[in-house]
Amino acid sequence: MPNLVMEYSDPVAERVNIRDLLEDLHQALLESGLFEPESVKSRSYPCHNWFVGEDGDRKTFIHLNLSLLSGRTPEKKRELSRSLLSVLESHASTINSLTVDIRDMDVDSFLKVSF
């Protein structure tokens, strides 16, 4: 049940094919073997207003938030993080900042309904 959310500063879309990047990130999650394929969800959102350091909005960024149910080892999460960062680097080497954050969700309080 991973949820990948990619946030990026507006100018990124002028230099990076966002759809292709998101598709490759999604594929990396599928190929990890850690998840049921039908449970993998990926989406992206542009940030229209942002500030990074003293340069403010002149710096570009892509940040990935990956939320997944708890229970995977730190090694598996680190491997997954490296895999996602590798995809980012292959698509977005001209972007100032590329980051990946993997967070565990509490399996006891997560609820889901599928139709």
More confident residue, 56 or 77: 77
Task: For residue 49, give both structure tokens.
Answer: 């207003």
The pLDDT value recorded for residue 83 is: 97
Q: Torsions phi, psi of 73, nearest 5?
A: -70, 155
Full-model pTM? 0.91
Q: Is the pLDDT of residue 14 over 90?
A: yes
Q: Which fold has domain 2-105?
A: Macrophage Migration Inhibitory Factor (3.30.429)
82 contact partners, CB below 8 Å, separation of at least 6: none
Residue boundaries of the structural domains of the chain: 2-105
Residue 112's pLDDT band, with cuts at 50, 70 and 90, is confident
DSSP state for residue 96 in the 8-state scheme: S
User: Mean pLDDT, to the nearest integer, of 70-97?
Assistant: 95
